[in-house]
Amino acid sequence: MAYADSPENAIAVIKQRTALMNRCLSQHKLMESLQHTSIMLTELRNPNLSPKKYYELYVIIFDSLTNLSTYLIENHPQNHHLADLYELVQYTGNVVPRLYLMITVGTSYLTFNEAPKKEILKDMIEMCRGVQNPIRGLFLRYYLSQRTKELLPEDDPSFNSQFIMNNFIEMNKLWVRLQHQGPLRERETRTRERKELQILVGSQLVRLSQIIDDNFQMYKQDILPTILEQVIQCRDLVSQEYLLDVICQVFADEFHLKTLDTLLQTTLHLNPDVSINKIVLTLVDRLNDYVTRQLEDDPNATSTNAYLDMDVFGTFWDYLTVLNHERPDLSLQQFIPLVESVIVLSLKWYPNNFDNLNKLFELVLQKTKDYGQKNISLESEHLFLVLLSFQNSKLQLTSSTTAPPNSPVTSKKHFIFQLISQCQAYKNILALQSISLQKKVVNEIIDILMDREVEEMADNDSESKLHPPGHSAYLVIEDKLQVQRLLSICEPLIISRSGPPANVASSDTNIDEVFFNRHDEEESWILDPIQEKLAHLIHWIMNTTSRKQTMKNKIQFSLEAQLEILLLIKSSFIKGGINVKYTFPAIITNFWKLMRKCRMIQEYLLKKRPDNKTLLSHYSNLLKQMFKFVSRCINDIFNSCNNSCTDLILKLNLQCAILADQLQLNEISYDFFSQAFTIFEESLSDSKTQLQALIYIAQSLQKTRSLYKEAYYDSLIVRCTLHGSKLLKKQDQCRAVYLCSHLWWATEISNIGEEEGITDNFYRDGKRVLECLQRSLRVADSIMDNEQSCELMVEILNRCLYYFIHGDESETHISIKYINGLIELIKTNLKSLKLEDNSASMITNSISDLHITGENNVKTSSNADDGSVITDKESNVAIGSDGTYIQLNTLNGSSTLIHGVVATASGSKLLHQLKYIPIHHFQRTCEYIESQREVDDRFKVIYV
């Protein structure tokens, strides 16, 4: 009999025949009705249907046959006998329609108790062999399975399971066979079609699982071995992957637990292309579900429950060992995910057992070595990245800290920290990787460890008591060894070179997306995110170890222990070579912090146990030692970086000197200052840097208090001033010297209780102050550049006013006479400045009227060239504290520096403005003097 030429027509035929069939049934014309049914079923013979279309037809036909079946059942045995019909339908000439009819009639008959159930079932399943076409056969057997679902004999589970298994086996065979049909080029189509059909086969296993229920004996002895044998025998990739997955999914997880060996063994005999790891992962998932369920049933069961008696990990471990042995062909791509699955398992079952993990990592290590570490491809690099930085989503590690106590769900950072500190193999695997990968991994790990946001959130939470006491969101570092391990893991980053950037760029686009100028000049600085991260790590370790621990984790590091850890860090980071310039400042900062702590302890002891000399001297020694360490650190930077960061070194020395001074360690302070001077003298070459460094030295010295003894202070400030007077540029000399004048004029430091007018032992020497100012003025006067000279004089005038305000003439030696003289000098010079520029501009007026009268002296300087209007008071150029010109950019409101010779057209205009700088500065100073007259009578005698 023919079938329709298109699926659409087929559906039409089926619907039409269904209608006819139903009409005949209503008229009790069974034979005619069967005839229609048979024609309808002919559509299922169509070999040109895709599995999807076939399924559509099948569904419609299934419903029609259900109608027929209902009729058959209702009219038995009054109008017919089903046993007769069972024979009758077998006259159908075509095998497919015949079998559908047989099954329909047969299953209808099965609803009656009188029917010889087992015989019918056996007969039907036997006859189904007549359909050997995979698609048609699969659907036919699926039909058998659907129809018999509720009708299997209730009292014989063994028969039933055999029946279903038989069907399953045949279906699987058909399914596998489908792969090999048709031309070779359609293989992929076949595979796709097979995947569409897989559910038909899988449904049989689902049926089995329903039949078995909790009959483990049957499962273990009959069912599982049969199924697995089938799976192994079919040697088909798709089938093996799918079926094992289904087996893992549909049967009870307890069963899996008890048949773990068998299941795992099976995977050893599969098609080599089967991705075992998927199967193992599914299995692991199921086993983990089991644990979850057990815990839900009884949250305290972790340690007592029976399931823990089983050495689940051991089983997996043995399996992995055997697998590794028997399948040396397994690639890393296959092997690593497998190990990862077992890691997932181990974490769930034995959350605190890091030995397991160590074993696993060792295995990977071995495998990697066998595989040849040189052959690690890019793909497997990714695998290692996932493995080593624990990015596998199946790992039940949360970044959240809200996990309940005792929960096997471990916080990722806790976990990784434990892992690093306990698993040697982990480190070894890491060491096998390419440098770029190592860096990536370590980078990930550090990010996880220092997930600061979480910590800060936890901080806030702990206030609202969301956390049970004792469950800290913080990591707890328990001992030095842990720090050591952590640092050794970080080594790839520590020793990594930031440049040349292109090198890093190719592998680390994530980190190094932006690059920075790299100049080997003295003050060059390349931003290096990796080193920055390491600096953060240093802070993190030190914060973690110094943090007050909670009750539960009663581990408190003593100051000395912290110091040891810091030294450990230092000795690790020194390997970074030139990188120390990024990391050592952080280490030094932590030394400084420890110093302050030490000092606090000392203060406390002095207060509480002033007589305990042993303790006091212990801490005082400690303190001195720390300064030595810091000095060492600074030297290390110096030695590692050649001359590239002398400015940094100088300043670190100064900071140390300041701290030492504050701690009344005058000798140490003096040494650091001396060190700073040495560097200044020997290594600082850039004049700009020299000036600002010298000013900084002066500022630092000015705040010291402990150096007065032994005349340390005296020698230092003289040295400082001397250096100032020897600077390269005269204007720098001038500024340095007038600023050094402050070194002889100590001012109050309110933090230590000093107060102007009350404290009487300030270090002050007015004569020296005046000397400095005079010297500075001489230099200013000698400068050829009139504008510069004038400006410096105005600055010195301001300095004079400072001292004038600060003290009596008798102390400061800055007299009215001196100030008035200076003002006169400035005025004269400004006049000459005016004359010098007479021809070019028409500002003569403004200069001649330079005395401050308080009247509105906004004057226009009409520039003949471009007619632009510049108001006297609104100059766009200013001079900075180091003598650089600053132009106020009107565009975005901020300023830019003017460098060297101004050559551009707009520059000539600027050049023109420069002379206004001292003029306006002088004006402002004069205004200030006038305003001060109201509060200080002495100002009235200053003539402006």
Partner 1 sequence: MSIFFKPPIDIEILFDNEESRKHVDIATRSSNSSYKSMKESLPVYEDGESLGGIVTLRVRDSKKVDHLGIKVSVIGSIDMLKSHGSGNSSSKKVTSSTSSSSSNGSVDVRKNSVDQFLCQSYDLCPAGELQHSQSFPFLFRDLSKRYESYKGKNVDVAYYVKVTVMRKSTDISKIKRFWVYLYNSVTTAPNTLSANETKATTNDIAGGNYAADNASDNTQTKSTQGEAGDVNQVLPISRSNNEPKPVRLDIGIENCLHIEFEYAKSQYSLKEVIVGRIYFLLTRLRIKHMELSLITRESSGLQTSNVMTDSTAIRYEIMDGSSVKGETIPIRLFLSGYDLTPNMSCNYFNVKNYLSLVIIDEDGRRYFKQSEITLYRTR
Partner 2 sequence: MLLLALSDAHIPDRATDLPVKFKKLLSVPDKISQVALLGNSTKSYDFLKFVNQISNNITIVRGEFDNGHLPSTKKDKASDNSRPMEEIPMNSIIRQGALKIGCCSGYTVVPKNDPLSLLALARQLDVDILLWGGTHNVEAYTLEGKFFVNPGSCTGAFNTDWPIVFDVEDSDEAVTSEVDKPTKENQSEDDDAKGGSTGTEQPGSYTPKEGTAGERENENESNVKPENQFKEDEVDMSDSDINGSNSPSFCLLDIQGNTCTLYIYLYVNGEVKVDKVVYEKE
Residue numbers at the binding site for partner 1 (CB under 8 A): 45, 47, 87-88, 90-91, 93-96, 98, 126-127, 129-134, 136-137, 173, 177, 181
- Angstrom distances, CA of residue 112 to CA of 10, 121, 179: 34, 13, 40
One residue of 12, 495, 606, 835 binding partner 2 per CB under 8 A: 606
Residues 558-595, buried b or exposed e (16+ Cβ, 10 A)? ebeebbebbbbbbebbbebebbbbbbbbbbbbbbbbbb
442 half-sphere exposure, CB direction, 13 A CA radius:
29
CA nearest to 287, candidates 267, 318, 316: 316
578 near partner 2, rule: CB under 8 A: no
C-beta separation of 588 from 542 below 8 A: no
Please report how close the Cβ of residue 506 comes to partner 1 at its closest, in angstroms: 54
Binding mask 879-908 for partner 2 (x = CB under 8 A): xxxx-x-x-x-x-xxxx-x-x---------
State yes or no: residue 799 binds partner 2 (CB under 8 A).
yes
In the complex with partner 2, the residue whose CB is nearer, 32 or 714, is 714
C-alpha dihedral, 103 to 105 to 110 to 111, nearest 10°? 130
- Using a 10 angstrom Cβ sphere, with 0-12 exposed, 13-18 middle and 19 or more buried, the burial of residue 434 is middle
Give least dist CB 132 to partner 1, A. 4
Q: How far is CA 753 from the centre of its chain?
A: 46
Q: How far is CA 438 from the centre of its chain?
A: 15
Candidate ranges 16-24, 108-116, 456-464, 708-716; the one touching partner 2 (CB under 8 A): 456-464
The whole-angstrom separation of Cα 741 and Cα 734 is 11
Q: Does 925 bind partner 2 (CB under 8 A)?
A: yes
Site residues (CB under 8 A) for partner 2, limited to 127-146: none
Beta strands in 513-669 (DSSP E): none
Which of partner 2, partner 1, none interacts with 414 (beta carbon under 5 to 8 A by kind)? none
Chosen from partner 1, partner 2, none, partner binding at 95 (C-beta under 5 to 8 Å by type): partner 1
Using the rule CB under 8 A, which residue among 121, 283, 559, 822 binds partner 2? 559
Which one of residues 303, 614, 810, 906 is an interface residue with partner 2 (CB under 8 A)? 614
Contact between 758 and partner 2 per CB under 8 A = no
Nearer to partner 1, 162 or 265 (CB): 162
For residue 3, the surrounding DSSP H or E stretch is: none
* Comparison of 373 and 932: residue with beta carbon closer to partner 2: 932
Residue 7 binding: pick among partner 1, partner 2, none (C-beta 5-8 Å cut-off by kind): none
Of 245, 251, 241, 142, nearest to 201 by C-alpha is 142
| Helix 712-725 vs helix 687-702: crossing angle, to nearest 10 | 150
Positions 698 through 717 that interact with partner 2 (CB under 8 A): 698-699, 702-703
Q: CA 860 to CA 864: how far, in whole Å?
A: 12
Query: Cα(466)–Cα(450) distance, rounded to whole angstroms?
Result: 22
Contact of residue 48 among partner 1, partner 2, none (CB under 5-8 Å per partner type): none
What is the DSSP pairing of strand 410-411 with strand 397-398? parallel
The first and second tokens of residue 596, run together, are: 């302050």
State the first-to-last Cα distance of the chain, in angstroms, to the nearest integer. Answer: 125
Which option in partner 2, partner 1, none does residue 618 bind, with CB closer than 5 to 8 A by kind? partner 2
Q: 500 preceded by cis ω (within 30°)?
A: yes
| Residue 722 beta carbon to partner 2: minimum distance, rounded to whole angstroms | 17
Residue 220 sits in the site that holds partner 2 (CB under 8 A): no
**Which of 422, 361, 418 is CA-nearest to residue 387?**
361
Contact partner at residue 553 from partner 2, partner 1, none, CB < 5 to 8 Å by partner kind: partner 2
Residue 132 interacting entry, from partner 1, partner 2, none, C-beta within 5 to 8 Å by type: partner 1
Contact status: 615 vs partner 2 (CB under 8 A): yes
- In 642-686, which ranges are continuous DSSP H helix? 646-662, 666-682
**Angle 349-353-359 from CA coordinates, rounded to 5°:** 105
Q: Does 805 bind partner 2 (CB under 8 A)?
A: yes
CA distance 281 to 132: 35
Smallest distance from partner 2 to CB 679, Å: 14
Position 684, amino acid? L
**Is position 852 an interface residue for partner 2 (rule: CB under 8 A)?**
no
Nearer to partner 2, 222 or 686 (CB): 686
Nearer to partner 1, 163 or 584 (CB): 163
Q: Between 233 and 642, whose beta carbon lies closer to partner 1?
A: 233
Q: Which residue has the tokens 């840097």?
A: 689
Mask 467-486, x = binds partner 2 (CB under 8 A)?
A: --x--------xxxx-----
Rounded to a whole number of angstroms, the minimum distance from the CB of residue 432 to partner 2 is: 28
586 scored as a contact of partner 2 (CB under 8 A): yes
Alpha-carbon span 443 to 127, nearest angstrom? 65
The site partner of 867 among partner 1, partner 2, none (C-beta below 5 to 8 Å per kind) is none
In angstroms, what is the minimal distance from the CB of 650 to partner 2? 9
Choose the one of partner 1, partner 2, none that binds residue 636, judging by a C-beta under 5 to 8 angstroms depending on kind.
none
878: three-class secondary structure by DSSP: strand
- Of 177 and 831, the one with the shorter C-beta distance to partner 1 is 177
Question: In the bound complex, what is the minimum distance in angstroms from residue 834's beta carbon to partner 2?
Answer: 20
Task: Quote the least distance from Cβ 14 to partner 1, whole Å.
Answer: 19
- Count how many Cα atoms sit within 13 Å of the Cα of residue 24 in the half-sphere of its side chain: 17
Q: Which does 130 bind (CB under 5 to 8 A by kind): partner 2, partner 1, none?
A: partner 1
**By CB under 8 A, what part of segment 813-832 binds partner 2?**
none
Given the structure tokens 């969101």, which residue do they identify? 473
Using the contact rule CB under 8 A, the part of the chain among 227-235, 450-458, 633-641, 834-842 near partner 2 is 450-458
Q: Which amino acid is at 477?
A: I
- Backbone dihedral region for residue 615 (phi beyond 0: left; psi -120 to 50: alpha; all else: beta): alpha
- Rounded Cα gap, residues 110 and 250, in angstroms: 28
Q: Which stretch binds partner 2 (CB under 8 A): 257-265, 581-589, 853-861, 936-944?
A: 581-589
- 597 touching partner 2, by CB under 8 A: yes
For residue 488, state whether it binds partner 2 (rule: CB under 8 A).
no
Which partner in partner 2, partner 1, none is near 516 (CB below 5 to 8 A by kind)?
Answer: partner 2
Residues 825 and 786 sit within 8 Å (Cβ to Cβ): no
Task: Kindly report the length of the chain.
Answer: 944
What are 654's strand-pairing partners? none
The item of partner 2, partner 1, none sharing an interface with residue 127, based on CB under 5 to 8 Å by kind, is partner 1
Compute the least distance from the CB of residue 121 to partner 1, in Å: 15
Largest CA-CA distance found in the chain, in angstroms, rounded: 141
863 φ/ψ angles, rounded to the nearest 5 degrees: -80, 120
Per DSSP, the residues of 400-428 read -S-PPTT-S-EEHHHHHHHHHHH-HHHHH
**CB of residue 756 to partner 2, shortest distance in Å:** 11
Q: Is 561 in the site for partner 2 (CB under 8 A)?
A: yes
CA-CA distance, 862 to 846, in Å (whole number)?
Answer: 12
| Residue window 632-661: x/- pattern of binding to partner 2, with contact defined by CB under 8 A | ---------------xx--x---x--xx--
Of 467 and 827, CB closest to partner 2:
467
- Residue 486 contact partner, candidates partner 1, partner 2, none, CB within 5 to 8 A by sort of partner: none
Q: In this structure, is the dihedral angle defined by the CA atoms of residues 676, 678, 684 and 688, taken in order, positive or negative? A: positive
920 makes contact with partner 2 (CB under 8 A): yes
Q: Which is nearer to partner 2, 346 or 602 (CB)?
A: 602
610 binds, among partner 2, partner 1, none (CB under 5 to 8 A by kind): none
For residues 338 and 797, which CB has a smaller minimum distance to partner 2 in the complex? 797
Q: Three-class SS of residue 93?
A: coil
